[in-house]
Amino acid sequence: IIDTPISEMGFTGIGVGAALYGLRPIIEFMTFNFSMQAIDQIINSAGKIHYMSAGDLTCPIVFRGLNGAAFGVAAQHSQCFAAWYTHCPGLKVVAPWNAEDARGLLKASIRDDNPVVFLENEPTYGVSFEVSDAVLDKDFVLPLGKAKIEREGTHCTIVTFSKMVGTSLEAAKELEAEGISVEVINLRTLRPMDTPTIFKSVKKTGRLVTVEEGWPTCGIGAEVIAAVTESSAFDYMDAPAVRVTAVDV
C-alpha cells in the first residue's frame, strides 16, 4: 500500500504505467469526483491501449472509490459517474451493492486483464449485510458481466445497481402489500451489461422501471430501455418503460 500525494493525475499515471509493465495496481480515489483530474489517464491511456496496440498490450488495473451522492459533500461531490465511464469502450464498469458483490466482484476485477472502474458507495460502507459461508471462502469470486435477480416477481421488472438496489427492494416489499409482484435485478456490472437477464425478465413481467442515482439524460436507465426497445423483449411490453433518476438540475 503506497500512500501517495494528492495528485490524481500523477498517481493514476503511475498506476497505468505499472499495469502496462505487468503489475495489477488498484488505484483508489477518495471519491470518483476527483477522478476527473485523471480522466485522460483512465480513458486515453488505460482504456484505449489494447485497441491502439492491435491487442499486443493489456492494462490490468482497477480504479476504485466512492461514487454517487454521499453526506453533506455538495453538488460537485455528489455525482454518479456510472454513465460517464460505461460510455467508453475499453473499460469495464462494476457497481457493487452489498458485501457479497464487493468481495466477489473486486477479486474478479483485479484478475481481469482489462482496466476496470469499480464504483463503490459511501453510505453503504456503514451498512451490515448477511453473508453466507460460501461468500467468506477464500476462493469466492463473482463473474463480471452477470446480473443477479435479487427478488423474483411477475408484474414489473426493476433494473438497478449500487445503493439503489436496496431502495428498490424496499419499494418491492411495500408494493407486495398492495398485491404487486416486482422483480428486482441487480446489474452488478454495467459494462459489459447482462442484457439477456433483463430481456428474459421483461418478457415475463411486461413492465420495466429503471432506478439510478445518476441524471436521466444519456444515463444507465436510458441505455437499458434502449436495449429493451431494440430487442424482441419490446414486443412483450404492456406499458411504456419508466426511469427513476436524480433530478436533472
Residues 106 and 96 sit within 8 Å (Cβ to Cβ): yes
Residues 237 and 207 sit within 8 Å (Cβ to Cβ): yes
Cα separation, 62 vs 91, in Å, equals 10
50 is catalytic: no
Residues 119 and 67 sit within 8 Å (Cβ to Cβ): yes
Give the position of cell 469526483: 33
In this prediction, residue 93 carries a pLDDT of 98
Residue 66, beta-bridge partner list:
120
Mean pLDDT by groups of 10 residues along the chain of 249 residues: 94 97 96 96 97 97 95 90 97 98 98 98 93 95 98 98 98 97 98 98 98 97 98 98 96
In this prediction, residue 173 carries a pLDDT of 97
Q: Dihedral of CA 118/194/111/21: which sign?
A: negative
In this prediction, residue 165 carries a pLDDT of 98
Cα separation, 71 vs 132, in Å, equals 30
155 is catalytic: no
Residue 23, beta-bridge partner list:
none
From the list 28, 77, 155, 176, the catalytic residue is 77
Residues 61 and 19 sit within 8 Å (Cβ to Cβ): yes
In this prediction, residue 94 carries a pLDDT of 98
For the segment 99-133, what is each residue's pLDDT rounded down to a tens digit?
Answer: 999 999 999 999 999 999 999 999 999 899 999 99
Q: Nearest-5° angle of CA 29, CA 35, CA 40? A: 135
In this prediction, residue 82 carries a pLDDT of 98
In this prediction, residue 106 carries a pLDDT of 98
Burial class (CB in 10 A: 0-12, 13-18, 19+), 198: buried
Of the candidates 42, 44, 45, 18, the residue with the CA atom closest to the CA atom of residue 29: 42
Q: At residue 234, what is the residue type?
A: F
Contacts of residue 119, Cβ cutoff 8 Å, sequence gap at least 6 = 32, 64, 65, 67, 68, 80, 81, 82, 85, 93, 94, 95, 96, 162
